[in-house]
Structure 1
């Protein structure tokens, strides 16, 4: 194992210290509790949004803290849920009197710990709404979940709900928009290699050089099936077809197409994949309204990609286009 780290025991703390040093004007990082906050809090009377999860998926979630997206992100250890104390501290700190939305990926530990934190926060007078993302069509249940995993739609929900909160919309409306994004988005991923968790020191699963894994999870979980490596045009089909089979009907609306790198695939390969995806969608009569290509929800050093398609109505597109200014996503600001 070759990693740019000091120690396997301090990876998360050292990385958070690096975020604080790299973005001193944008972020405030609680290095004791492992929470990333905006440097400047929202004004009173605005809904705040808190998300979080295991580290190793950067820039998710801390890289999406800032105007137009999250108010705070709780960083667990690598591939491990943040604990309730972190989530309570973040929720209390960012509440501006209009309530707090928790955006949670559907992994058992995340759901349980955010649920506990929401109950405690409610007991102290903070109104909390929770939306759980579960967009991965590759599985119904896995080692980490009951039901489908929450993956790429999480980024889109953080952006779209974040824009709604920035506009001053009430908590129920912000939560409804996030729920609608989740209901209309589907994802699937693939891997050319496994990832290596520093504490383990070896790949999470063995994958021969001439094979690929279809339907992987972001915690290094093996996928639906394994097959021989194929050209990008064929790999794109392995992702597009299962997603389209479960994507809600369009009613005249196109999609936001999000081609995400898993951490180790260079951008040149992601653009090759995106071109193939765009060709397949055009052939199926699916219009692409907006596009996002790059590393946004990763799995350490895994080579591969995921595809998320969101059937986006006019309101979602307006909120997607709204200004955002975070370390990991920025436009119009």
Structure 2
């Protein structure tokens, strides 16, 4: 089968012919239809991700496909069933052998492109805002990186959960996308002063931050008393150092959050979240924003869209 693999850190992926994986104990074999790309894939290629696979390695954290074989001990899934999965690695290939425990059935009305854009982005935002930050109706939510994969879902879900949403993104075009997803207020990170504008709007009660760096520092200083800040990524390349005295003065809470970690420590958090999100999708309350769909052979170009921040929402690779 074909697979896009990291053969050398920091270099483009290589399209290689590799053996088709067979499902082991507790696994299923999936014919992959689509793979949703994530910022974490770029970190794997650089060698800076939390988990480091042995090279050569097939990357791709998120997939939609059809089960083609079932391993020993698997009783909840059957051949021919459509599933989405957060597999960590291996999705940029014709087939993947993955634990059945990370698979979820998807509704018949959900296209493969939507399914591959669904789990990580919506799951990250929903667990962060609901389970971790306990976002309440009427609170003011500040979303940094609001036009990216997770940021855009935070805007959409925050609005659905009853918050007043402030979206921060680079340039008018990206801010227009955030507005279409429900943002009440728009801040251009290229030209506007985030701290002063947020304070003029009444301050932030919850901060959703996949960016880090100077934007986190500005958001911290624009928080209301008892605000909650959720750092969940550092797309700026700078991990902010948090002054504890600022937390003390305003009784602020900084909430560490890594969505993928719940697959090991408490997977029920993710499965419960996915049930809610699936219901909202079927009811037409949420809809993934996929800005680009490229074939497997152009996976490097697809990754470049993320690297250069030229995408809005999700970039999906189609595997036929």
Specify if TM > 0.5: no
TM-score, structure 1 normalization: 0.30
